Amino acid sequence: MPLYFYFEYIVRLDKFICGSTELTRSLAKKALHRGDVTCNGEVVKSSDFKVKNEHVICLNDQQLHLLGARFIMLNKPLDTLCSTIDEHYPSVLRLIDVIKADTLHIAGRLDADTTGLVLITSNGQWSHNITSPKKQCAKRYLLEVAEPLNEQLIETFKQGIALNNEEGLTKPAILEILSSHQARLTITEGKYHQVKRMLAAVGNKVVKLHREAIGDIELDPSLALGEWRYLTPTEVESVK
Ligand code: URA
C-alpha cells in the first residue's frame, strides 16, 4: 500500500465536527441525522464517514475547519483574572471570543491589578516552556513605584534579593531606571507577586505594573487593553 494512503485520511466525521465546533459527540450525531452536514456539497449522515484532506465539510452551509493548537497574545486590562474561571473579577478568557475557549489555558499569570502581555494557548508543552522554572524564560515589566529609585538598586537586583518568607535569593534581575519613579525590570522567575515583593524588599511599593514582553515575544503596541490576536509562527517558534 502506498505511503500517501495514510496521510489522506484525517478523522471520522463525528470527531471532525466536534473538533471544529462547540458540538458534543451526541449533538454532532444529531446534526448528521438531520442532514445538516455536507461533504463536497452532498449530505452525509454517517458518523464514521472518513474525512480526507480534499473534503470540504459544511454544517448548515458553514465550512468547518479542524482546530489545531492555538497561541494567543492578550493585552490584559485591570480588574481581570488570569484564571480559567470568574471569581472576584472576570477571567481574561472572557475577552477571547473563540470557539472552544475552555480548551485554552494561561501561560504565566498576572495579578488582577497588573496589565499587559498574557499568553494563552491550548498547547501544554509550549506553556510549560514559559512557566517551568528550569527554562528561566525572561519576563519584562514596566513599573511605577511610590518612593524614588536609586542607582544602587541596579546592582542589588543583579545580585538577587531575599524575599519575605522565601529561602535564598532571587535570580539575577535586570533593572533599568527610567525616571525617579519608573523602571523596567526583567526577571527569569515567576514567583508569587515577585515584582511587587522585590520592590517591597527594598522598602518601596509598586503602584503600577505592566508586562511588556515574555521571552522574545513583545506585546503588540497596536493592541489596546482588552484586545488580543493570534501569535505569528515566528512568535510561536521563539518559545523553546
Ligand atoms: N509580579 C507581580 O508582583 N505581579 C504580577 O502581576 C507579575 C509579576
Q: Report pLDDT for 67.
A: 86
Of all atoms in ligand 1, which is nearest to the CA of residue 211? 7
| Residue 223 to residue 182: CA distance in whole angstroms | 22
Residue from 36, 111, 113, 220 carrying the catalytic annotation: 111
The set of cell numbers assigned to 165 is: 518568607
CB of 76 sitting under 6 A from ligand 1 = no
- Select from 75, 92, 114 the residue to mutate for testing ligand 1; criterion: most ligand atoms less than 8 Å from CB: 114
Which residue, 130, 126, 114, 131, is CA-closest to 208? 114
CA-CA-CA-CA dihedral for 198, 201, 207, 213, to nearest 10: -10
Q: Are 116 and 131 in contact (CB under 8 A)?
A: no
Tell me the CA–centroid distance for residue 195 and ligand 1, in Å.
5
- Select from 78, 80, 110, 161 the residue to mutate for testing ligand 1; criterion: most ligand atoms less than 8 Å from CB: 110
pLDDT in tens, 182-214: 999 999 999 999 999 999 999 999 999 999 999
Tell me the CA–centroid distance for residue 196 and ligand 1, in Å.
6
Q: Is the fold of 69-134+226-240 the same as that of 138-214? A: yes
Of all atoms in ligand 1, which is nearest to the CA of residue 187? 8
Q: What are phi and psi of 29, to 5 degrees?
A: -65, -40
Tell me the CA–centroid distance for residue 80 and ligand 1, in Å.
14
Instruction: State the alpha helices, DSSP H only, in 133-223.
Output: 152-159, 194-201
pLDDT in tens, 78-103: 999 999 888 999 999 999 999 988 89
Which CATH code, of 3.10.290.10, 3.40.50.2300, 1.10.10.10, 3.40.228.10, is assigned to 11-63?
3.10.290.10
Tell me how far CA of residue 189 lies from CA of 10, 122, 220, 237, in angstroms: 40, 22, 23, 21
Q: Report pLDDT for 223.
A: 98
Q: Report pLDDT for 8.
A: 58
Tell me the CA–centroid distance for residue 231 and ligand 1, in Å.
23
CB of 205 sitting under 6 A from ligand 1 = no
CB of 111 sitting under 6 A from ligand 1 = yes
Q: Is 111 a catalytic residue?
A: yes
**69-134+226-240 maps to which CATH number?**
3.30.70.580
Output the pTM of the full model: 0.87
Are β-strands 206-214 and 114-121 bridged in parallel, bridged antiparallel, or unpaired?
A: parallel
Domain 138-214 has CATH 3.40.50.300: no
Q: Where are the domains of the chain?
A: 11-63, 69-134+226-240, 138-214
Q: Which parts of the chain sit beneath pLDDT 50?
A: 1-6
